[in-house]
Amino acid sequence: MEKIWVVIIALVIFVIFTFLFWLLTHRYAKNKYGTKMWKLGSARLSYWQAAILYSAGFTFITVYLLKWGNVLTF
């Protein structure tokens, strides 16, 4: 039962980082690619791939730091 909380905490951290990435970069990406390319789909796909990779990396680092600081135990 304890491990389920670790997974839930990691998912919440992942969602928060993804939302922050989207909040900070979606306007820039839309302007960079242009509305025509943005509607095509390949630009959005690469944008969301980057969002997932950055969020996963920051989630891993955050969970590792929480584990190192003995906040999370698993």
The verdict on residue 74 lying in a domain is no
44 touches 38 (CB < 8 A) = yes
13 in a structural domain: yes
The answer on pLDDT for 51 being more than 80 is yes
- Total number of domains in the chain: 1
* Domain presence at residue 15: yes
Within a domain: residue 46?
Answer: yes
**Integer Cα distance of 35 and 41 in angstroms:** 10
Q: Which domain holds residue 10?
A: 2-68
User: How far is it, in rounded angstroms, from Cα 40 to Cα 38?
Assistant: 5
Is the pLDDT reported for residue 8 higher than 90?
Answer: yes
pLDDT > 70? residue 1: no
Q: Is residue 73 part of a domain?
A: no
Distance CA 5, CA 40 (A): 39
- Per-residue pLDDT band for 2 (boundaries 50, 70, 90) equals confident
Is there a contact between 21 and 57 (Cβ–Cβ < 8 Å)? no
